[in-house]
């Protein structure tokens, strides 16, 4: 009788452990740690309005940077600027959208995609040429996706603005870690014997 009770208790414990393992969400991915950057996304500004504002043959350039400081905290920075036909920065054309992110659990997506839950805790639009300008962005949504069967140095960011204008998908590449600094060499002691002796 005692053996039967022990076996029944073991079955109950194993079943509970299995159920817990099945319902427990995947943990966040520490491989996200570091700095990720996009290649510049360039768009030629060809409308009559763009020409009147920026001049002929101007180009809008967008870059994206993600800095993941821990398993849960990150900053996403989108920078847009306009350069003229000669590639010179147009005055007062740079604007920045910066979002503070809280990264949650990672769950399997389609094929080899791993989708990371993201909450935007705050987001603002800034203009470097106007230090007093600070516009809060409400309703911004961000998604992060990594891949299990691809290069671990890339991820995707989905950036959805409240009104849809300026929304995009972008691929970011992990920045190279800084090379370790070499220890300073110890100077060799000089001989006290004069040369020639």
Tens digits of per-residue pLDDT, 51-69?
A: 999 999 999 999 999 999 9
Domains contained in the chain, number: 1
What value does the mean pLDDT take over residues 114-130?
95
Cβ–Cβ < 8 Å for 103, 71: yes
66: exposed, middle or buried (Cβ count in 10 Å: 0-12, 13-18, 19+): buried
Whether residue 134 is contained in a domain is answered as: yes
* Residue 8 is assigned to a structural domain of this protein: no
What's the CATH code of the domain at 96? 2.40.160
Taking the C-alpha atoms of residue 68 and residue 57, their distance in angstroms, rounded to an integer, is 36
pLDDT digits (tens, 9 = 90+) for 71-107: 899 999 999 999 999 999 999 999 999 999 999 999 9
User: Is 80 exceeded by the pLDDT of residue 192?
Assistant: no
| Within a domain: 70 | yes
Contact yes or no for 51/45 (Cβ under 8 A): yes
Decide if 197 is inside a domain.
no
pLDDT at 162 over 70: yes
- Is 194 part of a structural domain of the chain? no
Residue 16, in any domain of the structure: no
What pLDDT is recorded for position 121? 98
In this structure, is the dihedral angle defined by the CA atoms of residues 79, 89, 44 and 134, taken in order, positive or negative? positive
Residue 51 lies in a domain: yes
C-beta separation of 159 from 78 below 8 A: yes
- Average pLDDT of the chain is 82
Q: Which domain holds residue 31?
A: 25-174
């Amino acid at each position: 009788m005692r053996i039967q009770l022990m076996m029944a208790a073991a079955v109950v414990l194993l079943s509970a452990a299995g159920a817990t393992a099945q319902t427990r969400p995947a943990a966040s991915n520490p491989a996200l740690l570091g700095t990720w950057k996009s290649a510049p996304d360039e768009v030629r500004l060809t409308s009559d309005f763009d020409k009147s504002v920026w001049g002929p043959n101007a180009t809008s350039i967008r870059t994206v940077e993600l800095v993941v400081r821990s398993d849960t905290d990150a900053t996403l920075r989108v920078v847009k600027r306009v350069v003229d036909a000669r590639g010179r920065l147009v005055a007062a054309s740079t604007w920045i959208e910066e979002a503070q992110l809280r990264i949650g659990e990672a769950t399997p997506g389609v094929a080899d995609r791993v989708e990371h839950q993201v909450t935007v805790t705050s987001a603002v639009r800034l203009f470097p040429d106007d230090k007093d300008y600070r516009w809060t962005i409400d309703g911004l949504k961000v998604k992060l996706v990594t891949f299990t069967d691809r290069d671990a140095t890339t991820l995707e960011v989905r950036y959805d603005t409240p009104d849809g204008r300026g929304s995009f998908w972008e691929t970011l590449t992990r920045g190279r870690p800084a090379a370790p600094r070499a220890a300073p060499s110890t100077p060799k002691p000089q001989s006290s014997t004069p040369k020639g002796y």
